[in-house]
Amino acid sequence: MFKDTIEVVSTGLSIYELVNKSRPSLQRLVKRLRGGEAKIVVFGAGGTGKTTLGKMLAGESDPSILADYEESRTTEKFNFKREQSGIIIIPPGQGRRDDEWLAAFRQVSDGKFRIIINVVSYGYHSFREISYVSDKLYQQGMTVEEFVEIYTEKCRQKEINQLKEISTPIKMSKAVPTLMLTLVSKQDIWWQDRDVVTKHYSDSEYNNTIQEILSTRGTANFSHEYVSTSLIINGFTSGTGEPLKSIASDYSQPLQFANLAEVFKKIDEFCQ
């Protein structure tokens, strides 16, 4: 479960090898999946790190390379590097692009994807170009901390609502078994609150929705795991660069890579 992931992380430090060892495991993944084609769909709200994850899974991007948040206009497709038939589909996360989600939902319910990754970030959703004081949640005289609290709270609710939306096609999915990962990204921002974050996802409305899917599909047809990492270590800033929350003082790159390796490992285990 999610808490175990954090425990694993806190023990692993010489990690560069771990990442390099785990990444090629995706090659095995392709062979193991039905029809020789690995189809992964990545859901998540805008600004949680879906595209960055897609690039990393496909082997296109190194985690040490910082990438500015750029909103995706349409569903993105990444092919596994060095693979013949692996594909990662990422519908854009913004609410106004729900038609792209509906198309992906149809594919999920048709059983086109056996691996579903839902990316959440404890409400730390990046936003583009807009200052936090222009956000509709901001009120005159509010401190940055107060704004971040209500902003992330709203985004956490959005994450739960989106999971409920995703749960419908997953419950109907013909893919057997369906494997779902909840990836809690942006560890570098919330690392000091990790107990709260763990509780939020594993002992709350979020997990209740996961349990509903489990009871509908049955444990033989559906399995779910929590994993967590920081895809990039960047802190939390507004769209115009104002710092909203800094990187946790006890978070480091070895921790990030350990978690990343854990994510790859879980995906690999899912396919065995």
Partner 1 sequence: MDSFQDDIKYENRIVPEDRDKLIALLEEYSAKLQKKCDYIDRSLIIIKTFLFSIAIISAVACVYAIAYHKRMDSSTHFFILMVSFLALSASSMSLFHLYDDDNELERKNIINSHNHETHALAHRLNKLVGIASGFYEHVEKKEISKIELDLKISEAESVLNYYDSIIGKPKSYSYKK
Q: Is 239 in the site for partner 1 (CB under 8 A)?
A: yes
From 5-13, 102-110, 124-132, 248-256, span contacting partner 1 (CB under 8 A): 124-132
Q: Is 127 in the site for partner 1 (CB under 8 A)?
A: yes
- Cβ atoms within 10 Å of 165's Cβ, excluding its own: 14
Q: Is 135 in the site for partner 1 (CB under 8 A)?
A: yes
Q: Is 79 in the site for partner 1 (CB under 8 A)?
A: no
- Asked whether the bond before 177 is cis by omega within 30 degrees of 0, the reply is yes
From 92-100, 110-118, 228-236, 247-255, span contacting partner 1 (CB under 8 A): 92-100
Q: By rule CB under 8 A, what string of x and - marks binding of each residue 35-64 to partner 1?
A: -----------x------------------
Which residue lies nearer to partner 1 by CB, 47 or 86? 47
User: Distance between CA 185 and CA 53 in Å, rounded?
Assistant: 9
Residues whose CB is less than 8 angstroms from the CB of residue 65 and which lie 6 or more positions away in sequence, other chains included? 232
Which residue lies nearer to partner 1 by CB, 71 or 83? 71
Q: Is 129 in the site for partner 1 (CB under 8 A)?
A: yes
Q: Is 73 in the site for partner 1 (CB under 8 A)?
A: yes
User: Distance between CA 112 and CA 78 in Å, rounded?
Assistant: 16
Q: Is 80 in the site for partner 1 (CB under 8 A)?
A: no
Of 11, 35, 62, 96, which one interacts with partner 1 (CB under 8 A)? 96
User: Minimum distance from CB of 257 to partner 1 (Å)?
Assistant: 26
User: Distance between CA 74 and CA 99 in Å, rounded?
Assistant: 10
Tokens for 226? Answer: 């929590």
User: Distance between CA 92 and CA 105 in Å, rounded?
Assistant: 13
Tokens for 247? Answer: 């990187």
The end-to-end CA distance of the chain, in Å, is: 18
The CA distances from residue 44 to 63, 79, 96, 165, 203, in Å, are 19, 19, 14, 11, 20
Residues whose CB is less than 8 angstroms from the CB of residue 131 and which lie 6 or more positions away in sequence, other chains included? 238, 239, 240, 242
Of 95, 110, 174, 193, which one interacts with partner 1 (CB under 8 A)? 95
CB neighbour burial string for 123-143, b if at least 16 within 10 angstroms, e if fewer? bbbbbeeeebeebeebeeebe
Which residue lies nearer to partner 1 by CB, 239 or 254? 239
From 34-42, 67-75, 115-123, 139-147, span contacting partner 1 (CB under 8 A): 67-75
The gap from C-alpha 155 to its chain's centroid, in whole angstroms, comes to: 14
Helix (H), strand (E) at residue 185 = none
Q: Is 133 in the site for partner 1 (CB under 8 A)?
A: yes
From 68-76, 167-175, 181-189, 215-223, span contacting partner 1 (CB under 8 A): 68-76
Which residue lies nearer to partner 1 by CB, 61 or 178? 61
Q: Is 70 in the site for partner 1 (CB under 8 A)?
A: yes
Q: Which residues bind partner 1 (CB under 8 A)?
A: 46, 70-71, 73-74, 94-96, 127-131, 133-136, 239-240
